Amino acid sequence: MAQILDGAALAAAIQHDVAEEVKQLAARGIRPGLAAVLVGHVPASQIYVRNKVQACAELGISSDLLTPPDRITTEEMLALVDQLNRRDDIDGILIQLPLPAHIDSKRLLDAIDPAKDVDGFHPVNSGRLLAGRPALAPCTPAGVLEILKRSHLPIAGQHAVVVGRSDIVGKPVAALLLHADATVTICHSKTRDLPSITRQADILVAAIGRPGLITPEMVKPGATLLDVGINRLTTREAFDRFFQGNAQREAAFAKRGSVIVGDIHPKAFEIAGAYTPVPGGVGLLTIAMLMANTVRAAKMRREP
């Protein structure tokens, strides 16, 4: 029977540790602070930001939510980031993506002080991560490593195959696995004969954005499967392809008209040694890791 790597329990354990660190910092008169910038009215973004601000409150981190008007220009946003870079009470700056199309997101993210880049997207942090220097690593990849470490799953010497090479997930997760002494292979949309490579994986990380692309035939029995993908299924046909006969999912689909599936086909979990479910796996660690990064940024900046 495969071990389920429970994202909620792992996130709670991380948040518990972060709260302890916040208390220790408070004893030295330091209160970590996060600034969250939300532009526009994308409902999912509003929920994400609300959850991040709430997590700060629960852990004793101060937060400042900025909601500039939709029509704000790139120049005005740059001025806002500049102010946040200069504020001593702010340790982390989070710009919720996606931004409205008229704003130059890349320019803006590059303007964040790397010391306050708690999303870990700044090229300086990517470079430091690759060079094995202290860096703020992106939250989802850092969460993947936390899952493995806190579940005491072996990494050193294991063959880790990462499917997906994005700057925010695939590349950084590969770098983190490499630093933890895994033998790492990165696959992507141009990889030839993907199944022959994924079948070699002791640890398989899927960060593709294609529902159930990793099928049971592509998995080595007993492997650890980490599913980063979040894909919404909205048609009956798509639902049946993954969850036909699954009463629990059926009820969810009937209620909401959609269900979430990862990049790994649920049937593949049956032959795994351990796996992260979707939902309820990797996704739940992202906010916990953002909190951990904010405390880390506070420590690195205020106690160099």
Residues in contact with ligand NAD by CB under 6 A are: 140, 163-166, 168-170, 187-189, 191, 194, 207-210, 213, 228-231, 282-283, 286
Residue 125 CB, shortest distance to ligand NAD, in Å, is 16
Q: Residue 206 Cβ, how far from ligand NAD at the closest point, in Å?
A: 8
Minimum gap (Å) between residue 171 Cβ and ligand NAD? 9
Residue 137 to residue 172: CA distance in whole angstroms: 7
Name the residue type at position 39: V
6 is catalytic: no
Q: From edge to edge, which strands make up the β-sheet containing 159-163?
A: 3-4, 274-275, 224-227, 203-206, 159-163, 183-187
Name the minimum Å distance from CB 75 to ligand NAD. Answer: 28
Q: Which is nearer to ligand NAD, 210 or 301 (CB)?
A: 210
Cβ proximity to ligand NAD, 212 vs 283, nearer residue = 283
Identify whether 52 is a catalytic site residue: yes
CB of 82 to ligand NAD, least distance (A): 27
Residue nearest to ligand NAD (CB): 166
Phi/psi of residue 220, nearest 5 degrees: -80, 130
Quick one: CA torsion of 95, 99, 102, 106, rounded to 10 degrees?
50
Q: Which is nearer to ligand NAD, 165 or 265 (CB)?
A: 165
Q: Degrees (nearest 5) of the Cα angle 249, 280, 235? A: 35
- Whose Cβ is closer to ligand NAD: residue 25's or residue 264's? 264
| Shortest spacing between CB 7 and ligand NAD, in angstroms | 9
Q: Nearest Cα to 228, choosing from 290, 149, 299, 169?
A: 169
What residues does 160 pair with on adjacent strands? Answer: 184, 203
Q: Which of these is catalytic: 15, 91, 116, 119?
A: 119
Catalytic residue, candidates 15, 52, 116, 227: 52
Helices (H), the chain: 7-27, 43-59, 74-86, 105-111, 123-131, 139-150, 170-179, 194-198, 236-243, 247-256, 266-269, 285-302
Question: Hey, what's the torsion of the CAs at 213, 264, 175, 20, to 10 degrees?
Answer: 150
Neighbours of 107 (CB within 10 A): 13
- Amino acid letter at 21? E
Active-site entry in 15, 91, 96, 227: 96
d(C-alpha 15, C-alpha 95), whole Å: 21
Does residue 23 have an active-site annotation? Answer: no
Question: Which residues does the annotation mark as catalytic?
Answer: 52, 96, 119
